[in-house]
Amino acid sequence: MLAAVAWTLALAAIGYLVMTAVTGTMLDLHVYRSGGQAILHGANLYAIRAADNLPFTYPPVSAILSVPLALLPFVADKIGWIAVVLASLMLAVRAGFRPLLDRAGGAAPAVFPVILAIAAYLQPVMQGIGFGQVDLVLLGLCLTDCMATAPRWPRGLLIGLATAIKLMPGVFVIYLLITGRRRAAGIAALSFAGLTALAWAISPANSATYWTNAIFQTGRLGGNGSAANQSLRGIVLRVHADVAPNLVWLPLVLIVGIAGFAMARACQQRGQELAGITITGLLGALLSPVGWIHHLCWVVLAIGVVTGDGRVARRVLPAALTTALFLSILPTWAEHTQSAAQQASIPGFLMENSFGLAALALIPLIYWLGHSGSEVSVVTAPAEAAPFLS
């Protein structure tokens, strides 16, 4: 009975998000659809403009895979897309909160939908649904590739596919390498290269344009200095926009990247695979030149990993604070309501960059919680783990 009530309330809450998205513009999904149309008609992929005058900014593989979207009514695209995104969210919640759900025992069928509904309202997830973005799907591909205990595909294949769709998941090739899975890393690299080569054969002009020109034009992605960009570069641009920001950003990327990957490797070596995956996903958003808020959907896993089985206050408190922060619209609210002087102050800086700074803080927190001996969300390496996808 309790589970039925929980699912009813959760579906009502998520249904509201879905209806809002379906009746809205879903701008990024329209961009993907326009990319598919450009491939079908042999148009210049990087000259088209979708709804709201948005350009196509992704690798050509994304446009080719979007051809089915161009063949269906847009409303059908929206419904199908949201179904796939929500399935990916369910996978993330199941993986991230597994210790808590295991501890819940018979109450797990009621606890799961509550967590799922809360996760759907986290800003990175909510924006991903509303815009029609692909990030949660990429999370699902990378998570499944790393965690499946006996995959029916060569491990690394899904990571290569995710990277060919959108370059950010390429951080997982590094993760596979530093955790000793060289064969999987090689397969990821080869699948990325193979899909990219196939796209070049299908659409050579668009591929040439992307890899020699469009990929370097970060301005095509939108206002890099806006609070919507919570990557390290976005933070630097908001502080040093007129003072050679790359001189600050690139060393910062090097420091955070080395330290972050070292912590991800340490977690994986301790048998905390999910912690290593989560850190790597957060690094992808932080190290990218542009890390929109929806790129931080990895926070779903992060909250679950930090929570553990919910018995330790030093885990539950930061998990609750992280949840509360990402349920808010603090960065964009600070950007649009504060004066320039207020934004330049320490409180203004912290608010406007709160999502990126929180993601940065979560990396050492996840590492420390596992290293300190505190009960932690432990999922061992694929060869030794209990079945994850059963």
| Interval 250-292: pLDDT, tens | 999 999 999 999 999 999 999 999 999 999 999 999 999 999 9
Is the per-residue pLDDT at 30 higher than 80? yes
Confidence at residue 220, expressed as pLDDT on a 0 to 100 scale: 81
Instruction: Give the pLDDT mean for 14-25.
Output: 95
Q: What is the mean pLDDT of the chain?
A: 93
The 10s digit of each residue's pLDDT in 56-83 is: 999 999 999 999 999 999 999 999 999 9
The 10s digit of each residue's pLDDT in 170-191 is: 999 999 999 999 999 999 999 9
Residue spans of the domains in the chain: they are 2-371
| pLDDT band for position 157 (cuts 50, 70, 90) | very high
Instruction: Give the pLDDT mean for 89-107.
Output: 97
Residue 289: exposed, middle, or buried by beta-carbon count in 10 A (0-12, 13-18, 19+)? middle
Confidence at residue 340, expressed as pLDDT on a 0 to 100 scale: 80
Confidence at residue 244, expressed as pLDDT on a 0 to 100 scale: 67
| pLDDT band for position 385 (cuts 50, 70, 90) | very low
Give the separation between CA 213 and CA 203, rounded to whole angstroms: 15
Q: Which residues contact 47 (CB under 8 A, 6 or more apart)?
A: none
Confidence at residue 145, expressed as pLDDT on a 0 to 100 scale: 98
| pLDDT band for position 7 (cuts 50, 70, 90) | very high
Of all residues in the chain, the percent with pLDDT exceeding 70 is 94
Confidence at residue 77, expressed as pLDDT on a 0 to 100 scale: 97
pTM: 0.94
Confidence at residue 358, expressed as pLDDT on a 0 to 100 scale: 98
Confidence at residue 242, expressed as pLDDT on a 0 to 100 scale: 63
Is the per-residue pLDDT at 381 higher than 50? no
Torsion over CA: 30, 173, 261, 245 (sign): negative
Range with lowest mean pLDDT among 160-164, 365-369, 380-384: 380-384
* Tokens 């932690």 belong to residue: 376
Please tell me which residue, 217 or 92, carries the higher pLDDT value. Answer: 92
Confidence at residue 1, expressed as pLDDT on a 0 to 100 scale: 81
Confidence at residue 372, expressed as pLDDT on a 0 to 100 scale: 67
Confidence at residue 223, expressed as pLDDT on a 0 to 100 scale: 83
* Tokens 């050679």 belong to residue: 244
Is the per-residue pLDDT at 160 higher than 80? yes
The 10s digit of each residue's pLDDT in 183-212 is: 999 999 999 999 999 999 999 999 999 999
